């Protein structure tokens, strides 16, 4: 490998390692906050701000699903940065993490947009439709990028076999 490319790879590894550590802290804090809210819901019940009766459980379910999907987005980003920090850039593992990240974004946006059609009052106020559609579009773009990355990984593997 040329010295310029080795220097670039070192930078990619270094920056990816830092970003992965930041991502790890954010995911840890996110789980901590979710745990605190989950404990609060178990002890005091679902707050009245979520509506009344069955609407509370529907809203709580929407929050739980979107929170889980948001965590999945962060988790796949964390794994992708781990691959990059090891120098695994155009590999099948990195491509899979990008694809899973995109799919998680699409599912997150779909859940947010789908909340508009929940029959209970207040769901529309809680979930933002613009945010949902934006996440779907971004997720589809990320899945498309993963397709390009898969082709690049195949080309790299083919090139290694030739040399």
How do the domains of the chain map onto residue ranges? Answer: 3-162
User: If DSSP codes are grouped into helix, strand and coil, which group holds residue 83?
Assistant: helix
- Residue range 94-109: mean pLDDT, rounded: 94
- Residue 10 pLDDT level (bands cut at 50, 70, 90): very high
Q: Does 36 score more than 60 pLDDT?
A: yes
CB count in 10 Å sphere of residue 92:
13
What is the pTM for the complete model shown? 0.81
CB count in 10 Å sphere of residue 121:
10
Question: What is the predicted pLDDT for the residue at 124?
Answer: 58
- Residue 18 pLDDT level (bands cut at 50, 70, 90): very high
Query: To the nearest whole number, what is the mean pLDDT of the chain?
Result: 84
Per the CB < 8 A criterion, the answer to whether 37 and 23 are in contact is: no
- Residue range 128-145: mean pLDDT, rounded: 84
Q: Does 156 score more than 60 pLDDT?
A: yes
Cα separation, 25 vs 118, whole angstroms: 34
Question: What is the predicted pLDDT for the residue at 52?
Answer: 63
Cα separation, 54 vs 49, whole angstroms: 13
- Residue range 137-148: mean pLDDT, rounded: 94
Question: What is the predicted pLDDT for the residue at 93?
Answer: 93
User: If DSSP codes are grouped into helix, strand and coil, which group holds residue 47?
Assistant: coil
């Amino acid at each position: 490998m040329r010295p310029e490319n080795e220097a670039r790879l070192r930078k990619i590894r270094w920056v990816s390692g830092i970003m992965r550590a930041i991502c790890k802290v954010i995911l840890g804090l996110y789980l901590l906050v979710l745990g605190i809210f989950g404990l609060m819901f178990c002890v005091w019940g679902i707050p009245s701000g979520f509506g009344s009766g069955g609407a509370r459980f529907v809203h709580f379910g929407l929050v739980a699903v979107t929170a889980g999907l948001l965590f999945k987005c962060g988790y796949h980003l964390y794994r992708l940065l781990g691959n990059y920090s090891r120098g695994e850039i155009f590999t099948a593992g990195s491509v899979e993490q990008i694809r899973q990240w995109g799919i998680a974004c699409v599912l997150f946006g779909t859940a947010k947009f789908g909340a508009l059609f929940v029959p209970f009052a207040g769901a529309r106020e809680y979930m933002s439709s613009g945010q949902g559609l934006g996440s779907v579009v971004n997720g589809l773009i990320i899945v498309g990028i993963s397709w390009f990355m898969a082709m690049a990984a195949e080309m790299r593997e083919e090139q290694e076999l030739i040399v």
